[in-house]
């Protein structure tokens, strides 16, 4: 039985995404960047909380690299947690939770939310809860869609509240009490193709539609994201991109 959507996400998407995530250039490229940032900026971490973990793709990739960590994934929808349990029968604590009511208190070395807060009107409450959940001196990783001018029917279909500017994301993180480490654009080399897909499309279609592509094209897009990721890791700051990655820290 499908849970009703409160407006921030449609849980009917979980089934299709579960089929796509492991091969999709976008999920793979984003997860590569997340894991790099996690190990680069928080090398002493031993625990990680992901809010809005969905089908568990990101936290499973973290589990594969750090099987000895305490890993907790929370998700509003049982549909996502059911898929996450299939993906990860053990090794990760999975809990149904509204991200705006975070119960944890200084328990984790790093907290993350990946393409989550743009779905939630009360995003500042989510960030405040993440600040509460991370230990002093611990870290935060967040990804969001970038550029208001990229708003399209695809955002409507995905139940986005907004797309972020770099300044907006930095401001919300600072307001929550975090110190910024880095805010980087990604999906930059593929931005022209993304613009064509998003801005020229006249109907919303399915959220997964642009990710369900022929294998050769998917492979080429992943190669582009791998090259782009190498540049980001080398310190290149792209002026634009389809998404933003923010790295921040809770002060001691």
pTM given for the model:
0.93
Nearest in space to 117 (alpha carbons), one of 251, 243, 27 = 243
120 phi and psi angles, rounded to 5 deg = -120, 125
pLDDT at position 202, please?
A: 52
| Contact (CB, 8 A) for 50 and 114 | yes
CA atoms within 13 A on the CB side of 3: 17
Confidence (pLDDT) at 10: 79
Cα dist. 29→36, 60, 106, 137, 238 in Å?
11, 15, 30, 28, 16
Per-residue pLDDT at 205: 53
Which single residue is written with the structure tokens 């991200």?
A: 99
Strand 134-145, strand 108-114: pairing: parallel
In 3D space, the residue among 148, 90, 96 whose CA is nearest the CA of residue 118 turns out to be 148
pLDDT reported for residue 11: 84
**Annotated domain spans of the chain:** 14-249
pLDDT for res 197 = 76
Tell me, what DSSP letter sits at residue 183? E
pLDDT at 6: 44
Number of H helices, E strands in the chain: 9, 7
- Give the CA distances from residue 28 to residues 42, 143, 200, 223, in Å, rounded to whole numbers and listed in that order: 21, 14, 25, 11
Cα dihedral sign, 244-141-4-61:
positive
Residue 203 pLDDT: 52
State residue 152 phi and psi, 5-degree precision: -150, 180
b/e code 86-104 from CB counts within 10 Å (16+ = b): ebbeeebebeebbbbebeb
CATH topology of domain 14-249: Rossmann fold (3.40.50)
**pLDDT for res 30:** 98
CA–CA separation, 94 and 87 (whole Å): 12
pLDDT per residue, tens digit, the chain (252 aa), is: 333 344 467 788 899 899 999 999 999 999 999 999 999 999 999 999 999 999 999 999 999 999 999 999 999 999 999 999 999 999 999 999 999 999 999 999 999 999 999 999 999 999 999 999 999 999 999 999 999 999 888 888 888 999 999 999 999 999 999 999 999 999 999 999 888 876 666 555 556 677 888 999 999 999 999 999 999 999 999 999 999 999 999 999
């Amino acid at each position: 039985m499908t849970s009703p959507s409160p407006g921030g996400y449609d849980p009917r998407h979980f089934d299709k995404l579960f089929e796509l995530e492991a091969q999709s250039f976008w999920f793979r490229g984003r997860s590569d960047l997340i894991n790099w940032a996690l190990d680069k900026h928080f090398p002493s971490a031993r625990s990680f909380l992901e809010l809005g973990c969905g089908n568990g793709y990101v936290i499973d990739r973290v589990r594969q690299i750090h099987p000895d960590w305490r890993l907790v994934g929370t998700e509003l929808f049982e549909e996502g947690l059911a898929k996450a349990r299939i993906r990860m029968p053990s090794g990760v604590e999975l809990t149904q939770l509204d991200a705006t009511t975070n119960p944890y208190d200084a328990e984790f070395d790093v907290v993350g939310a990946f393409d989550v807060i743009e779905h939630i009107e009360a995003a500042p409450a989510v960030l405040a809860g993440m600040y509460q959940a991370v230990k002093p001196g611990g870290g935060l990783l967040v990804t969001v869609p970038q550029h208001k001018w990229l708003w399209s029917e695809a955002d409507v279909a995905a139940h986005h509240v907004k797309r972020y500017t770099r300044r907006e994301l930095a401001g919300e993180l600072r307001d929550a009490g975090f110190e910024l480490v880095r805010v980087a654009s990604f999906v930059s080399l593929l931005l022209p193709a993304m613009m064509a897909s998003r801005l020229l499309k006249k109907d919303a279609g399915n959220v997964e539609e642009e990710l369900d592509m022929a294998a050769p094209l998917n492979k080429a897009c992943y190669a582009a994201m791998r090259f782009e990721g190498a540049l980001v890791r080398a310190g290149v700051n792209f002026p634009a991109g389809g998404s933003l990655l923010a790295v921040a820290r809770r002060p001691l």
